[in-house]
Amino acid sequence: KTGYEETAMALADLTEALFAPFRAGDLPPPAPSARVLILYGYEGIWPAPLPADPVYHSFSRRETDRLRTAGRTVRATFPEAGAPPGLFDLVFLSAPRQTHEARAALAAACRALVPGGLVLAAAPKTAGGMRLKGWMEEAGLHILGTDSRAHCRTVWARKEALPAPECWNLWREEGAPRPGPHGFVSCPGLFGWDRVDVGSALLAGALPADLTGTGADFGCGYGYLSAHILKTCPSVQALHAFDDDARAVSCCAQNISAISHPATHEVHWADLSVPWAHGPRFEWIVMNPPFHEGAASDPGLGQRFIAAAAAALKTGGKLWMVANAHLPYGPLLAVLFGGAVEVFESSGFRIYRARR
């Protein structure tokens, strides 16, 4: 199966798990007037109709675009601590696998519920599902039931009309952007959020110091490569950074704004897995493209990044790219760029340089 197919199957399993209590009769169907929030929402075929117009949350531009195309209401941020509490009667949470991120999402779910409201949380058994019940008990929720099916664990619980436990604020802070041990502002849930990725470090070491003009960082994450370029390439005039994750956009903007460099810079919340449609054309692009769709490996995602880079470069523009050595990117680089120079292979990575 492709990574996309595996991810679609995993999302179908999560959807089935989230609705299991209703299908089994453990919970009555939600009232038509119920106010519903879906954290980490995604566009798909839900196995039961949802009340009214649910509010979806997603940090992903890709999922946000899909949801908005389907006519959904989408937010890119969690409910904040200062926001009016108790806006929703029912919250669905597809819990992420990273611990701090998952607990921050659960705290957001608790904060968003009215007293007496319900939260249904699900996760794969091998990616945090077996920890959900304990976390929800710690959060002061009254556990109503649990279910295991479709490789997932589901827990549903009611919010009591009690003072909020301190863990809500603690978990919110754990999941928030903050300075990391690597010297960058970063956030749990981002790729390599608390470290410098080996591949990115190798690419940074291979980049020339004479980059000039206007360039881009595709899939910028918290901004390691963008920051390296601004620190080492004095002739760069403008830098554009792109990422699918709204948290990465915020962190990258903070990190590169802290660097003294005359270049203009802009960070874009953008999906680079679709045909290029963002206007600017560049003299150079650097990237360490993702190759996972969810938890599944999907080399096609990196191939779509390469296609976007080819469309975004000016004639004669250069692509500098690092990738895991086993990924099949050479044939596509040959088609779109007329070939690529393999700068070197080391530590399981390859660095490519290609001219448009």
- 164, with CB counted inside 10 A (0-12, 13-18, 19+), is middle
Scan for tokens 């007293």, then name that residue.
115
The pLDDT assigned to 4 comes to 42
Taking only the tens place, the pLDDT of each residue in 38-60 is: 999 887 766 667 787 899 999 99
Reported in sequence order, the residue ranges of 82-140 that DSSP labels E, i.e. its strands, are 88-94, 113-124
The pLDDT assigned to 83 comes to 54
The residues, ordered by sequence, that sit 6+ positions from 181 with a Cβ below 8 Å of its Cβ are 194, 195
Q: How far is CA 109 from CA 162, 206, 234, 318, 338, in A?
A: 15, 44, 46, 45, 50
Taking only the tens place, the pLDDT of each residue in 328-344 is: 898 999 999 987 899 98
Residue pLDDT tens, the chain, 356 long:
333 434 555 677 888 888 889 988 999 988 889 999 999 988 776 666 778 789 999 999 999 999 999 888 998 887 665 555 678 999 999 999 999 999 999 999 999 999 999 999 999 888 888 999 999 999 999 999 999 987 889 999 999 988 889 999 999 999 999 998 899 999 999 999 999 999 999 999 999 999 999 999 999 999 999 999 999 999 999 999 999 999 999 999 999 999 999 999 999 999 999 989 877 799 999 999 986 454 445 678 899 999 999 999 999 999 999 999 888 898 999 999 987 899 988 889 999 999 99
Q: Are 121 and 132 in contact (CB under 8 A)?
A: yes
Taking only the tens place, the pLDDT of each residue in 107-131 is: 999 999 999 999 999 998 888 889 9
Rounded distance, CA 169 to CA 306, Å? 41
The pLDDT assigned to 162 comes to 81
Q: How far is CA 216 from CA 38, 139, 183, 350, in A?
A: 33, 42, 22, 20
Write down how long the chain is.
356
